[in-house]
Amino acid sequence: MDMSDKDKFELEKSNDNPTNYHSSGGLSSDWRFNSTSIPNSSLGLVPIDNQMSVCRGDLVGAASCSSASVIDSFGPAMWEHPTNSQNLVFCDINVQNIASSSNTAGIGKGVPASLRNGIDRTLEMGWNPPNSMLKGGIFLPNAPGVLPQSLSQFPADSAFIERAARFSCFNGGDFGDMVNPFGVPESMGLFSRGGGMMQGPGEVFVGSGMKSVSGGQSQKNVMNAGEASKDISMSVDHMATEGSPLKNETKRESLARSRDEAKKGLGGSSNDSDEAEFSGGSGQDEPSMLEGNCGELSAKSLGSKKRKRSGEDAELDQAKGTPQSAKGSPETQQKGDQKPTSTTSKAGGKQGKQGSQGSDQPKEEYIHVRARRGQATNSHSLAERVRREKISERMKFLQDLVPGCSKVTGKAVMLDEIINYVQSLQRQVEFLSMKLATVNPRLDFNIEGLLAKDILQSRALPPSSLAFSSEMPMAYPALHQSQPGLIPTAFPGMESHSDIIRRTINSQLTTMTAGFKEPAQLPNVWDDELHNVVQMTYGTSAPQDSQDVNEPLPPAHLKVEL
């Protein structure tokens, strides 16, 4: 089937198109088909669609060559090189198509359709980002003013996606609504396909751009997304500015750019596509029908009809009409399904269904997100929001710290509470220092013992809640026995044991006092009050020490128990 498609393609190409087409297009088509058949089952759909379009093009006659060439050029761009160059070409072609599509909607649609079908989920990721990159590079010089300043500044999160989508919707229609909520790249891809189809070529392009945005963000990086969004805006701009009459020159320009950036063969193919677009003005109806058959949303057909009516101003109509088409997508889709029965493949219908589902789902989510997020999207309000979030986060943290603050709501009241608490703590410190100062004379010979004990306790008793409990028992055995019971897991029996031994040794051997517990930390203390220390330790806990020394078993026992 692939082979047959290829053959047909080549035949058509040879028939319709001049020499450049052969030189570049044939090879590219081969490439594309091979690659498509390899990666996915869905890729099989691509050739079918192409064939369909080609057939229709044949029916149309002059338009047929255009569509075929478009598809061809598109195909090579997509599949020929897995790298950037083809992407570049592809983007260019798409842009051109869009530019021309304001008049010749059918061709533009045909291209997107093939695009849709031919693109794999896996491949989308690969080619979209570079695509966007290229577009940005190409179209920046054309319409730099359109670029939103805020876009480049956005971080690479979902919010950014939303914003980008919004921007796109701002530019091209309501497309962003559906695109936004899509977190999954696959669904994004499907949806963007569907959405793009719904809105017509320009919007299709936007859709592809959006795809790249979402996919790139979910999987890759911000830069791509940002540029993709830029590209979207650029493309839209192209559409808007370069309406139908100047198609040719603009196409030429873009073509030249594409050539510059792409390879020669690709450039040739793009040329062909351009020609095809030129000629494809008459083939509007057929491509649109084709897309409907392909099972994509037939909203396009609506858009195309509108375009027919309005002619060159079709862009605006599209932008306005896209919401309608989006709403009426199910019905239109049904139409599309009915149409395809004649010639389409099942896969096309499936795709269209998927696209419609995707569009339905994301809509709701998007509304939800939008309601939550609010409208402010410029950088200042964003920063302000971040700041507010930070502050509230800290406030929450402080709420846990400050007693009696948990029930308070409102930042001012909470700040009051915090201030009061800090003041009270500081006052408490003052008061306690007063107390200590008054008590100080009495404690002369208590501190050292306390210090020694503190150190001991801090070692033997990691949980500090007990370290300074007021009823701290002086009897060490009791402590040791009670502690493990309280904190069985945290009690290092060996440590306490060694501490006890050390302490007893220290108390017995006064020569060791210099290196008592913390030789580095406590030299002064022990230097001056050596005797004091020894006396203190003896006085406070000598009997217990002796007990400990006499029976060092309890810790060991405890350890065993632990």
Partner 1 sequence: MTSERAAATAHTGSIKNRFARRFLRSLLKIKRSDRLGAGTSTGFQSNEEVTKRNAQRIKTAAYRSMARVVGPRKIWSRALLFKLRYRARIQGAGLRKRRLVSKKKRVLRKENKVQVISREPSRADDLRKLVPGGDSMHICSLLDETAHYIKCLATQVKVMQSIADRFIL
State the residues that interact with partner 1 by CB under 8 A: 387, 390-391, 394-395, 397-398, 401-402, 412, 415-416, 418-419, 421-423, 425-426, 428-430, 432-440, 442-444, 446-448, 450-451, 454-455, 457-458, 462-465, 467-470, 472, 487, 489-492, 518, 521-522, 524-525, 528-529, 562
204 contact partners, CB below 8 Å, separation of at least 6: 98, 108, 109, 112, 115, 196, 197, 300
Per the CB < 8 A criterion, the answer to whether 216 and 125 are in contact is yes
Are the C-beta atoms of 234 and 226 separated by less than 8 Å? no
- CA end-to-end span of the chain, whole Å? 75
| Cα–Cα separations (whole angstroms), residue 293 to 45, 99, 367, 372, 465 | 13, 24, 31, 39, 75
Provide the sign of the torsion angle of the four alpha carbons 361, 367, 372, 377, taken in this order: positive
C-beta of 82 vs 462, nearer to partner 1? 462
Q: Residue 515 Cβ, how far from partner 1 at the closest point, in Å?
A: 16
Residue indicated by tokens 């057939």 = 55
Select 18 or 519, whichever has its Cβ closest to partner 1.
519
Q: What is the DSSP letter of 61?
A: S
Distance CA 282, CA 104 (A): 7
Residue 141 DSSP SS3: coil
Q: How far apart are CA 198 and CA 288, in angstroms?
A: 11
Q: Which is nearer to partner 1, 83 or 433 (CB)?
A: 433
CA distances from 306 to 73, 119, 204, 277, 363 (A): 27, 28, 16, 19, 24
Q: What are the tokens at 192?
A: 């963007």
Give min distance, CB of 477 to partner 1, in A: 20
Nearer of residues 376 and 439 to partner 1, judged by Cβ: 439
Residue number, 350 or 394, with CB nearest to partner 1: 394
Closer to partner 1 by Cβ: residue 175 or 526: 526
- 170/445 with CB nearer partner 1: 445
Q: Which residue number, 228 or 402, has a Cβ lying nearer to partner 1?
A: 402
Query: Containing H/E element for 258?
Result: helix 247-261
Nearest residue (CB) to partner 1, 440 versus 510: 440
Instruction: Report in angstroms how near the CB of residue 222 gets to partner 1 at its nearest.
Output: 24
- Shortest distance, position 488 Cβ to partner 1, whole Å: 8
Residues 6+ apart with CB under 8 A from 483: 460, 461, 466, 491, 496
Q: What one-character DSSP code corresponds to residue 243?
A: -
**Closest CB 139 distance from partner 1, rounded Å:** 40
**Residues in Cβ contact with 187 at an 8 Å cutoff, skipping those fewer than 6 apart:** 358, 361, 362
- Output the smallest distance, CB 446 to partner 1, in A: 6
Cβ count near 433 (within 10 Å): 11
In whole angstroms, what is the distance from residue 419 CA to residue 424 CA? Answer: 8
Which three-class secondary structure state does DSSP give residue 463?
coil
Residue 391 vs 514, nearer CB to partner 1: 391
Do 403 and 421 meet the contact criterion of CB atoms below 8 Å apart?
A: yes
Our CA dihedral for 409, 412, 418, 422, rounded to 10 degrees, sits at: -160
Residue 391 CB, nearest distance to partner 1 (Å)?
6
Name the residue type at position 215: G
Backbone angles phi, psi at 18, to 5 degrees: -75, -165
Instruction: Between 315 and 448, name the residue whose CB sits nearer to partner 1.
Output: 448
| 79, 31 Cβ separation under 8 angstroms | yes
Residues 166, 176 contacting (CB under 8 angstroms): yes
Give the shortest CB-496-to-partner 1 separation in angstroms: 12
* Minimum CB–partner distance for residue 416 and partner 1 (Å): 6
Q: How far is the CB of 380 from partner 1 (least distance, A)?
A: 16
Tell me how far apart the 2 most distant CA atoms of the chain are, in Å: 114
**Would you give the distance in Å from CA 111 to the centre of its chain?**
29
Nearer to partner 1 by Cβ, of 439 and 478: the residue is 439
Nearest distance from residue 513's CB to partner 1, in Å? Answer: 14
Cβ closest to partner 1, residue 84 vs residue 532: 532
**How near is the Cβ of 440 to partner 1 at its closest, in Å?**
6
Q: What is the closest distance, in whole angstroms, from the C-beta atom of residue 553 to partner 1 in the complex?
A: 20
Residues 6+ apart with CB under 8 A from 548: 476, 477, 480, 500, 504
Nearer CB in complex with partner 1: 145/410: 410
Phi and psi at 174, nearest 5°, equal: -90, 15
What's the min distance (Å) between Cβ of 426 and partner 1? 7
